[in-house]
Amino acid sequence: MSLANLNPQQPKTAEMAEHMAEVKGRSLWADARVRFVRNKAAMVSLVVLILVFLFAFFGHLLTPYDNETIDWNVLGNVAKVGQPSFENRHYFGFDDSGRDLYSRVVQGTQISLMVGIVGAMIAVIVGTIYGAVAGFVGGRIDNAMMRFVDIAMSIPYMFVLILLLVVFGRSIGMLFVGIGLTAWLDMSRIVRGQTLSIKNKEFIEAAVATGVRTPTIIRRHIVPNLLGVVVVYATLLVPQMILTESFISFLGLGVQEPLTSWGALISQGTSTMNYGTLWQLFFPLAFFVVTIFAFFFIGDGLRDALDPKDR
């Protein structure tokens, strides 16, 4: 190829470059948002989830009853006179002890969501730091850290959780500790894997070659690239935490009276369904299932939106 042939190309390339500059670049996140908004199941789930959250925060404003007062006229006769009704403003009816079930469900929703989100947050923070350190430092330390995770992961955690709750007393605080103790393990593995693969990418090499300092590399290049995975996994972790909490509370080992949660409410509804008070099972069950569904769909939607492989 001669120079003469190349020359006419040059103005064209320059023109193209000018055009390129005019097109506004879209960031990874803007791109992901577009894709997420297009995902109908995820968008519907997002709306549902916002409604559930609003219910948890402001639901108590809609009822004149609180979650502790026992209506002695109803107690002992719940199956006959305790049905859900809009006239007496007991929207969800009464629970088995004659308390307003609507306020109980509001309270249960608050606690279940809180356990889910705080549990996931513990897992995300501890898991990300642990995984990123292991992946970035590498070598023998990485090996030891990950071997520890291997061992901790193969201990059946539900037994440990129940043991902890029995030995140190059944309380919400202990529930957080127990759930947080095990939930970060998966996260640390995922983050470590991701850190390892990013560490060896060309743009990190380029950054190192141009003399960027290590903390800046971590902040500007490693963490933003980890964020997608972490966000997706955290969204999928929340329903898992809620499931674990409900499982424990269903057995009666988790959240204790006068507090309640979806698991505890479902358990109460189950124990009384022989008496024909099905609304006590239906309402908490519906909230539980709908919320878990919503979280799963949003997690899936986020994964599709943030997964670079898809492009």
> Reduced to 3 states, what is the DSSP secondary structure of residue 227?
helix
Task: Report the nearest approach of other proteins to the CB of residue 256 (Å).
Answer: 12
305 near other proteins, rule: CB under 8 A? no
User: Distance between CA atoms of 288 and 88, rounded to whole angstroms?
Assistant: 25
Nearer to other proteins, 65 or 233 (CB): 233
Q: Within 222-241, which residues bind other proteins (CB under 8 A)?
A: 239
Q: Answer positive or negative: Cα dihedral of 10, 16, 22, 26.
A: negative
Stretch that binds other proteins, among 26-34, 131-139, 191-199, 265-273 (CB under 8 A): 265-273
Among 267, 283, 287, 306, which residue interacts with other proteins (rule: CB under 8 A)? 267
User: Distance between CA atoms of 158 and 163, rounded to whole angstroms?
Assistant: 9
> Reduced to 3 states, what is the DSSP secondary structure of residue 90?
strand
User: Distance between CA atoms of 304 and 308, rounded to whole angstroms?
Assistant: 9
Task: Report the nearest approach of other proteins to the CB of residue 278 (Å).
Answer: 7
160 near other proteins, rule: CB under 8 A? yes
272 near other proteins, rule: CB under 8 A? no
Stretch that binds other proteins, among 107-115, 122-130, 164-172, 205-213 (CB under 8 A): 164-172
281 near other proteins, rule: CB under 8 A? yes
Among 253, 256, 259, 304, which residue interacts with other proteins (rule: CB under 8 A)? 253
Q: Please report the DSSP string for 113-182 in residue order.
A: HHHHHHHHHHHHHHHHHHHHHHHHH-HHHHHHHHHHHHHHHHS-HHHHHHHHHHHS-S-HHHHHHHHHHH
Among 147, 201, 219, 220, which residue interacts with other proteins (rule: CB under 8 A)? 147
296 near other proteins, rule: CB under 8 A? yes
Cβ contact 283:226 at 8 Å? no
Cβ contact 47:301 at 8 Å? no
Task: Report the nearest approach of other proteins to the CB of residue 284 (Å).
Answer: 10
Among 63, 83, 88, 270, which residue interacts with other proteins (rule: CB under 8 A)? 270
Task: Report the nearest approach of other proteins to the CB of residue 297 (Å).
Answer: 9
Residue matched to tokens 């959250």: 53
Task: Report the nearest approach of other proteins to the CB of residue 289 (Å).
Answer: 5
User: Distance between CA atoms of 67 and 109, rounded to whole angstroms?
Assistant: 13
User: Distance between CA atoms of 44 and 27, rounded to whole angstroms?
Assistant: 25
Residues that bind other proteins (CB under 8 A): 147, 150-151, 154-156, 158-160, 162-169, 239, 243, 246-247, 250-253, 263, 266-267, 269-270, 273-274, 278, 281, 285, 288-289, 292-293, 296
